[in-house]
Amino acid sequence: MSQENMPLVTAVVPVYNHEKYVIESVRSILGQTYRNIELIIINDGSGDRSHEMVLTLVEECKKRFIHFEYLNRENRGLAATLNQALSIARGKYFSVLASDDIALPNKVSLLVDALESANDTCAAAFGNALFIDSEGEEIRLDSKGCIAGNAGSISYDNFIDFYTRDRHFDYRGDEFGNYKTLIVANYLPAMSNLVRTAAISEAGGWTVGNVIEDWEMWLKLSKKYRFIYTNKPLAFYRLHDNSSVMLMGDRHKLCALLLMAKEKQFCADNNLSSSWKNTYYSLLSSVFLEKRISLSEKLSALDFSQVSSTSLYFAKRLTRKVWRMSNSEQ
């Protein structure tokens, strides 16, 4: 593709308390082989020295990018930050990189080529992502999501293999990124992604207060569009410590539960009720295990044959709790 025909790509770095990593993250965009990029950095009320770190790169970014904008403001949460970046974006394509992750130099170029070669039924292109630790060293994870210490044990060095390790589909085939596979769980690496900006706007952007904003966006888009997979690592996904990436915090679980509640009717209309029930009740049971609920109530909530009154009662309570949380700061 000739220089003058390159579509504009909007790269976004939402920054939050990553003073140790943000310079490396931004520099990975500065080093992209693809030239026609605008960069938007939004510091979402970091309480550390992230703002000072970004300031050291401002002049370099102004020289490198077609358009550069840096906003330093109070905390509003990631979804609100992404929506703000979307309102500013001028690019045909939109790509988000967390301020602790790293893009490989050919990420944008390869994904633009993939989408430009596809028709309008494709909304997004993905590569894979390799795991690194807090010091930037490549690592492998065991099946529980902890850094693998035994060379002989089963382990995973990349995002998609890890998150599909118990799944029975070939993500390299036609099922990649379709709604049927995504309703079970998210396995798509947001750091290795490029999306048509118009498709995100059409989907209504991100839901403010939802902390699993990427999963929700993939589900929205997959109802209408296909996704493309490029079988190459295009980014590094950083794990800050040895804790399990399998563990979801309370708020993540509650938002996931609310998201599944919103997807119930679509699944019913598309013969996916069984998959929906498996996901919904798995999330529900995970929440219940942390809430000191009696054994009889747990068993009733986990009855797959019907949605019991006990299940509905607790689901409504959880939904109200998520609603209250969604109107407070992250």
β-strand partners of 72: 43
By C-alpha distance, which of 48, 186, 30 is closest to 97?
A: 30
Per-residue b or e along 184-220, where b marks 16 or more CB atoms closer than 10 Å to that residue's CB: bbbbbbbbbbbbbbebbeebebbbbbbbbbbbbbbbb
pLDDT at position 181 is 97
The rounded distance, in Å, linking the Cα atoms of 201 and 178 is 20
β-strand partners of 41: 13, 70
The rounded distance, in Å, linking the Cα atoms of 45 and 41 is 12
pLDDT, mean of each 10-residue run, the chain (330 residues): 79 97 98 98 97 98 98 97 98 98 98 96 98 95 86 88 93 95 96 98 95 96 97 95 54 82 94 94 74 41 41 55 49
Residues in the chain, total: 330
Chain position carrying tokens 């893009």: 103
Q: pTM for this one?
A: 0.86
For the domain bounded by 3-129+163-234, which CATH number is listed? 3.90.550.10
Contact criterion met (CB below 8 Å) for 143 and 154 = yes
Task: Locate the domains of the chain by residue range.
Answer: 3-129+163-234, 250-326
CA dihedral in degrees (207, 165, 114, 125; nearest 10)? 0
Contact criterion met (CB below 8 Å) for 57 and 310 = no
pLDDT at position 324 is 56
